[in-house]
Amino acid sequence: MRYLPLTQTDRQAMLQTIGASSVEAFYEDVPEIARFDGPIEGLAMHQGELAVERHLEALASQNRSASEGPFFIGAGAYRHHVPASVDMIIQRSEFLTTYTPYQPEIAQGTLQTLFEFQTQVAELTRMDVANASMYDGSTACAEAAVMACRVTRRKKVILSGGVHPHYVAATRLLCEAQGIEVIALSAAIDAELALADAVDDTTACIIGQSPNVFGTVTDLTPVSEAAHKNKALFVSVFTEAVALGLVKAPGEMGADIAVGEGQSIGNNLNFGGPYVGLFACREQLMRQMPGRLCGETVSAGGERGFVLTLSTREQHIRRDKATSNICTNSGLCALAFTAHMSLLGGMGLTRLAELNHEIACDLADGIEGIGSVELLTPRFFNEFAFRTPLPADRVLSALQDRNVLGGVRLSRLLPDQGWDNVILAAATECNTGEDINAYVQVLKEVLQ
C-alpha cells in the first residue's frame, strides 16, 4: 500500500536488528495509565473525508471559547487581550522566511526577530542574556535544572512547594532520566523562602517561583543568597509574564537562571497551545545555555546583519558536546510575543500589569465579602487561591452551569493533598466589572 509500505517481514527484520521484541517495547517508559488499550472508543477505523470533517466539527463545537462569558481560569495559562495588529504583523511576508535560519543570507527577517525577542526577554527578566525561545515554561524549567547540574557538577535539584506541579513533573522526568536527584518540597501557599533552609553544599540548584502556583508574590533575594553561599545556582520561575511589569524581576533578586512562560504576551490561549518558553541567564553561564542564540554582526559590505552566534544543540554539534537535545524553538509564538511587546513598550507593560492587579483586587474583595469563603493567598498579582465550604469541583460545576468559568480546582494540580475545597482564580484586563459582579453573585447563590 502507498501509505503502509512495510510488510510484517520488514518490521520483524527491523525489530531484530535493533534488538527489540516488539513495537510495544518502545513504550515501556510510558505509564500504563497514559496508554490506550486498543482502538479509541467511538472513533471509526476509517471514513471518507466529508465524514471526518463532520466528526471533527462536532467535536470542536463542544469547546467553549474564553470570550463566551465571564472567564477566571489561570493556573499557568492566562487570557489577555492580543491586539489585532499582532496577527497582521506576524503574517507579513518579511517573516515568511526559512523555518530554521541555517542560511542567514535568506533568513534575515527570522534572525532579526529572534534577536529582538532575546533583547526583550533579557530586559523583562533583568538578566544578561536570553536564548531564542524554548518549547514552553515547563520544559524551560527542566532544561534549567539540567544546565545547573552541568555548571556545578552536582546532581541534586530542589524545587519549592510553590512551583507549578506541571513544571515539577517536567523537571523530574528530564532529571531522573539523567541520574539527577529531584527533591520537591511540600506544596505550600507561602513558603518560597523555605528553599533557603533546604539548600546545602551538595545542591546544584534551588528552584523557586514568584508569583507561585498559588499566586503568592515573594521577594526571593534571601533564597538567591542562600544558594550562592553554598555555591549552588538559583533558578527563578514565573508562569505569568505580565507580572514582570510590576513585581521584582528574577535578575533583581539575584537569579542565575530565569525561566518561564511567555504565552501571556502576544499569544492567545488556543485551547492549550502552542506556547513559548522564556530562558535567560547570567553572561558567565551563556555557553551552557540550551537552544540557540542570535547575534548582531556587520556584513562584508558594512551593513547590519544577524546570524546564529551560538548553537549548542544536538542538531548543530556533536551529541556529547551539546547542552540540550531540544530540536526547535517556538518561532511563530516568539514573533507574536515580540510584536506585542513592541506595541506595549515599557510604560504600556507596566500599566497593563497595574490594571491586572487592580482588577484582581476587586475580584478578591468581592469573593472575600462572602462570609463562608476564606482568601488564602496573602500577596498576589492577578491570581489567588480561596477556600469554600463545598468541594471545589461542585462549586465550579455550578458556576459553569450559570455561564461563569470560575477558575481551577487546586486538587486537579495537587491531587490527594487536601486541597479539595480550594479554587485558584485569575483576573486580567479582559475581565469587566460586570464579569466580577456576576462571579460574586453566582458564587454567593451556589454557597447558600
Predicted pLDDT at 97? 61
Instruction: Please give the Cα distance from 420 to 388 (Å, whole number).
Output: 9
- Amino acid at site 348: G
Which value, to the nearest 10 degrees, does the dihedral of the CA atoms of residues 432, 434, 435, 441 take? 150
- Count of C-beta atoms within a 10 Å radius of residue 297: 12
- Amino acid at site 423: I
Q: Which residue is listed with cell 471509526? A: 44
Residue 393: is its pLDDT beyond 60? yes
Predicted pLDDT at 106? 79
SS3 of residue 356 by DSSP: helix
Could you tell me the domains of the chain? 84-341 (3.40.640.10), 345-447 (3.90.1150.10)
Closest of 168, 388, 155, 356 to residue 265, by C-alpha: 356
Instruction: Please give the Cα distance from 73 to 379 (Å, whole number).
Output: 19
User: Per-residue pLDDT tens for 133-173?
Assistant: 899 999 999 999 999 999 999 999 999 999 999 999 999 99
| 43 confidence band (pLDDT: 50, 70, 90) | confident
pLDDT (average), residues 390-418: 96
SS3 of residue 256 by DSSP: coil
The residues with which 79 forms a beta bridge, in sequence order, are none
Predicted pLDDT at 110? 85
- Check: pTM over 0.75? Answer yes or no: yes
Predicted pLDDT at 313? 64
CB-count burial class (<10 Å; 0-12, 13-18, 19+) for 407: buried
| 29 confidence band (pLDDT: 50, 70, 90) | confident
User: Per-residue pLDDT tens for 107-137?
Assistant: 888 888 999 999 999 999 999 999 998 999 9
Percent of the chain clearing pLDDT 90 (strictly above): 77
Predicted pLDDT at 324? 78
Closest of 308, 74, 355 to residue 211, by C-alpha: 74
Of 285 and 98, which is predicted with more confidence?
A: 285
* Contact present, 221 and 195 (Cβ < 8 Å): no
Query: In Å, what is the CA distance from 311 to each residue of 129, 294, 413?
Result: 14, 9, 35
**In the sheet that 408-409 helps form, which strands lie side by side, from edge to edge?**
374-375, 383-387, 422-426, 408-409
Predicted pLDDT at 311? 79
Torsion angles phi and psi, residue 25, rounded to 5 = -65, -25
Cell of 70: 465571564
Predicted pLDDT at 221? 98
User: Per-residue pLDDT tens for 313-368?
Assistant: 656 666 777 777 776 668 889 999 999 999 999 999 999 999 999 999 999 999 99
Residue 98: is its pLDDT beyond 60? no
Q: 242: which DSSP letter?
A: G
Predicted pLDDT at 426? 98
Predicted pLDDT at 327? 64
